Structures are given as C-alpha cells and as structure tokens.
Amino acid sequence: MVSHLTKSENMNLWPCVLGGIGVGIAFTLGYKEIFSLEDSNEKPKYAAPSKFLYFNIEGAGEKIRRCLKYIKMPFIDKRFVDRNEFLKLKKDGTLTFGQVPALELSDGTMLFQSQAIMRYIGRYAAEVLKDERLYPISQPKVCAVIDALCCQDDDIQIGLRAYRYGRNGFDFDNLPALNGETAKKSIAKRLCDEVYPQHLARLEKIISNSKTGWFAGTATPTIADFTLFPTVEWIDRGIDAKNDVQYFRKGLVNKYPNLMKWMSKFNNEVLERL
C-alpha cells in the first residue's frame, strides 16, 4: 500500500499507533490488572481481628485466643465480668446466635461460630500477614483436610453438648421423662466406654500416619491442631470434673501413645511459646 503521508506525518502517527496497541493489550488482559482503576475504589477484602468476646474461662474460646497470639495479632481480650454482661449483649441483639465466642473486626463486623472465626483468622494470616501456617490457602486440598478435622471435632463433641446443655433439648434436670441422674450416669458411661474410644482411636490412627506430628501433615500446627487440642484434653481430664459432668472418667487418652505425644508436642512447641 502506498502512503500519502509525509515522513514527518508518519513519525507523528507512531504515538497513536503505540497507544492503540497498548489499549488493545490492556483490554485483552483486563484493564483492572494493568491500571488498577477499580482497586483504588474497592474496600479492603479483610478487616483485622480487633476484639475477642467470651467468658473468663478457657471453654470454646481459648483456641481462638491462642490462634490470635500465635500469629502475633494484637487484640482486646474482652472477658465478661459476669453472666449479666453477656446477657445484655444477648438481649440487645449484638450476638446473632445468642452465643459467644464472638470476634469483632476493625471495621465493626462481628463474627460468630468458633469454626468460622478460626478459619477467618487463618485466612487473614495467610492473605494479609503472608503467614500460611494456620491455614495454607495456597493448598486447597490441605485446607479441605483441615476443615474435615475441624468438623470432626464438632462430631466428637455432639454427645457432650447434648448431655451438658439442657437448651439442646436433653434437659435431664427438668424433663421427668429423661430420668435425671440415672440417665446422665448411663449416658456418661456409654460416652466414656464406647463413643470417645472410637473417636480417639481414629485420631490416633491419623496422627500416627502424619509424617510431621501435626494432624493435617503440615510442617507446623494448623487450626485443626488448635481445635482438637482442647477437646482431647477435656476428654482426658474427664471433661473438667464439674458437678454437671461428675460421671465422666479421667485418663481415657492414656491408651493412645501417639495422641499423648501430640499433646506434649502441642504443649511444648506451641503453648509454652505463646
């Protein structure tokens, strides 16, 4: 093709040609990635954990406090001074499910349910702090193993939760049909003789097969280890020897040597260094 433009006119066109090519490439790759036009207006994906709300006991909350300390996240450790302080939040609707643990984030968002909270902390550490130890988001299959172990923890606790908290329906102390102490005694026996040994045997097998000594086979403990530790510890202690669980037996974990080793490892390598 013959050009009708002079040489200098031809030279002047180059910026337009290059610009056009640039815009083409930008649209092909997606302008967002190149110019980050939208990013500047987007809200940050994560807000930092800021305040943890729970009773002044270990209970279901300690694993969360431990994870926050493990990733060196500063947070307000709000422990209710009495039950009324908790009931006030329950009544005013702050607690979506009427329960704690709850984690307030720096933008005011409230998170509930310990499993969801643990995962959020794990993801926050991985994405924002670039610390994948608790929840390796770059390895989805490992995360699925971790999630399964956390769900298993819930299954292990089902019997105890039903037994212990009348609000779940099995209100031994107030439902005459449930036969009070007699029923409590035989259910506790069944849990200690059959249910917990089955769960512990499965956990023993998993931890025996782990090359690293942590539940998901990772180099460092994950939220699965932080979640299972208090549960296995409670079972071993005969729950916590309070009146409402007086029929539980202590020392059930002694029969499982690798679970015992894992407990010492968690104590020495995690708890003592927090």
- Going by C-alpha positions, the residue among 191, 109, 121, 131 that lies closest to residue 156 is 191
Question: Given the complex with ligand GSH, which of 59 and 213 has the nearer CB atom?
Answer: 59
Stretch that binds ligand GSH, among 11-19, 71-79, 94-102, 168-176 (CB under 6 A): 94-102
| 187 near ligand GSH, rule: CB under 6 A | no
Smallest distance, Å, CB 59 to ligand GSH?
5
Among 114, 152, 227, 231, interactor with ligand GSH by CB under 6 A: 114
Q: How far apart are CA 192 and CA 183, in angstroms?
A: 14
Question: Given the complex with ligand GSH, which of 60 and 245 has the nearer CB atom?
Answer: 60
| 113 near ligand GSH, rule: CB under 6 A | yes
Contacts 24+ apart (CB under 8 A), 8-13: none
Residues within window 21-60 making contact with ligand GSH, judged by CB under 6 A: 59-60
Instruction: Copy the structure tokens of residue 137.
Output: 């988001």
Smallest distance, Å, CB 165 to ligand GSH?
7
Question: Given the complex with ligand GSH, which of 36 and 99 has the nearer CB atom?
Answer: 99
| 89 near ligand GSH, rule: CB under 6 A | no
| 227 near ligand GSH, rule: CB under 6 A | no
- Going by C-alpha positions, the residue among 197, 273, 187 that lies closest to residue 235 is 197
Stretch that binds ligand GSH, among 97-105, 141-149, 237-245, 261-269 (CB under 6 A): 97-105
User: Under 8 Å CB-to-CB from 135, ≥6 apart: which residues?
Assistant: 119, 121, 122, 123, 125, 126, 143, 146, 222, 223
**CA distance readout (Å), 241 to 29, 89, 163, 256:** 63, 29, 14, 21
Stretch that binds ligand GSH, among 21-29, 99-107, 172-180, 225-233 (CB under 6 A): 99-107
Smallest distance, Å, CB 53 to ligand GSH?
10
Among 67, 100, 216, 235, interactor with ligand GSH by CB under 6 A: 100
Stretch that binds ligand GSH, among 41-49, 95-103, 195-203, 216-224 (CB under 6 A): 95-103
- Going by C-alpha positions, the residue among 66, 68, 62, 72 that lies closest to residue 101 is 62
Residues within window 122-141 making contact with ligand GSH, judged by CB under 6 A: none
User: Under 8 Å CB-to-CB from 252, ≥6 apart: which residues?
Assistant: 192, 196, 197, 200, 235, 236, 238
Smallest distance, Å, CB 62 to ligand GSH?
11
Q: How far apart are CA 130 and CA 135, in angstroms?
A: 11
Question: Given the complex with ligand GSH, which of 99 and 109 has the nearer CB atom?
Answer: 99
**CA distance readout (Å), 69 to 31, 64, 73, 124, 169:** 40, 9, 6, 13, 36
Q: What are the backbone dihedrals phi and psi of residue 174, each rounded to the nearest 5 degrees, phi first?
A: -120, -15
Q: How far apart are CA 71 and CA 97, in angstroms?
A: 27
Query: Amino acid letter at 238?
Result: G
Residues that bind ligand GSH (CB under 6 A): 59-60, 99-101, 113-114
